[in-house]
Amino acid sequence: MSTTPTLPTTPESLLPLVHQAMDATPDARLRQLMASLTRHLHQFVIHNQVTEAEFEAAVDFLIRIGQATGPKTNEVILASDLLGVSTLVALVNNPAGHLQEGKAHSHAALLGPFWRRNAPLCAPGESIARGDTPGIPLEVSGTVYDAQGCPLAGAEVDVWQASPVGLYENQDPEQPDMNLRGRYATDVQGRYRLRTVVPAGYPVPTDGPCGELLRAQQRHPFRPAHLHFMVSSPGHKVLITQVFADDAETLYTDPVFGVTAPLVGHFERVTRDGKPLALLTHDFHLIAGETVFPHPPIP
């Protein structure tokens, strides 16, 4: 018995027809995600009575963040960060207090738009501050553990950061290539150590559509000072995280919502030979899983 095709007559009558059109999607996960996405989008439009002008402005924003994304910038990632979506995905996939065989893993954080693959391999204790990079020296050390709490020898600790003026090297033509980036292997006791300079807080890019959004919402763009880490070992899930300076001015108002309590590290301020020095000790706990690396947002 055939049924007569129906056409939408009200805003609410459109969604069932959209879902029906997508019901034959072979990939079950794609079918689920698209059904949920369209349902929430339709509910948003109806609930807020979105005007045609507002819809055109939203489409224009999406077009412009795509157009503003290129080899040196990634406005799509930035938009996800500013809406808290990047951090939300990290929290959903790495829930706080998750245990594997009785051990809690380290908290994850967003990747950010400035990670580069294949940073230089460094010897233990080598500095990632190359050229004439200024700043207060910072010594970082710690241990990488597996899910059972045993030290992981040969784990890779990939670290990168902004300079003391708040720029990553691929934003700043004055910095040497791969400045303030490096990869370290843990020793037989799972330990790593490196030297660098104290990072500075910095504004997220504000010269594109995302900057317009921040200004419209009267939000500041300044991220608190932090170090990025990507810690990996075969047979373990890759840990992407950040460690924030506990004395950072915007620690509680990070515009990308990336700070969680376990990610705050104590940057101990001391003097050595009459000169200022900072010390950071931070351990990482991995869990078993597939070793999958992210796609670099910028080459």
CATH code, domain with 135: 2.60.130.10
Taking Cα atoms as reference points, which of 56, 37, 46 lies closest to residue 11?
46
Q: What is the pLDDT of residues 51-78, one digit of tens each?
A: 999 999 999 999 999 999 887 788 998 9
List the domain range (segments joined by +) for residue 204: 67-285
Domain presence at residue 119: yes
Residue 291 lies inside a defined structural domain of this protein: no
Least confident of 52-66, 102-116, 145-159, 283-297: 102-116
Q: What is the pTM of this model?
A: 0.83
For residue 35, is it within any domain? no
Is residue 153 in some structural domain? yes
Within a domain: 184: yes
45 assigned to some structural domain = no
Determine the Cα–Cα distance for residues 167 and 133; give it in Å rounded to an integer.
12
- DSSP annotation of 127 reads B
Residue 78: inside a domain, yes or no?
Answer: yes
Cα dihedral 197, 81, 112, 90 in deg (nearest 10): 110
Does any domain span residue 9? no
**Which stretch of 31-40, 60-69, 97-106 has the lowest confidence by average pLDDT?**
97-106
Looking at residue 99, what is its pLDDT? Answer: 46
How many whole angstroms separate alpha carbon 298 and alpha carbon 151?
32
If one counts the domains in the chain, the total is: 1
Query: Residue 271: exposed, middle, or buried by beta-carbon count in 10 A (0-12, 13-18, 19+)?
Result: exposed
Average pLDDT of span 134-157: 95
